[in-house]
Amino acid sequence: MNLILTDSVKRGASDIHIEPYELEMRVRFRIDGQLATVMTPPLRLKDAITSRLKIMAKLDIAEKRLPQDGRIRLSTRPMARKRELDFRVSTVPTLYGEKGRYAVGWTRKTSGWT
């Protein structure tokens, strides 16, 4: 899961979409306004990925029938500056599992950010 989050930042994505379908699962990034499929993890990992993200966002992992919203905050130190990543998380139940949308943003709370 950390690979998906860090890859989205490296590629400059504004959103991450994790979408289960009947026969596959897609991870797509919104880059420059376009959704691009970046990986198709094995379908057997669908529940593990969804649960991991819900735990990171402090959401109820047992609730799969209602939409949920949360937030993930991660601290980084690129180029000796402390920066904080802010992912706004939304999950929505679908026919084949839960679809997740993660909006990527930087917070300005930490000192030294320009």
HEC profile of the chain:
CHHHHHHHHHHCCCEEEEEECCCCEEEEEEECCEEEEEECCCHHHHHHHHHHHHHHCCCCCCCCCCCEEEEEEEEECHHHCCEEEEEEEEEEEECCEEEEEEEEEEECCCCCCC
Q: What is the mean pLDDT of residues 102-107?
A: 82
Q: What is the mean pLDDT of residues 52-81?
A: 87
Query: Is pLDDT above 70 for 80?
Result: no
Q: What is the mean pLDDT of residues 77-97?
A: 83
Share of the chain above pLDDT 70, in %: 88
Residue 2 vs residue 66, higher pLDDT: 66
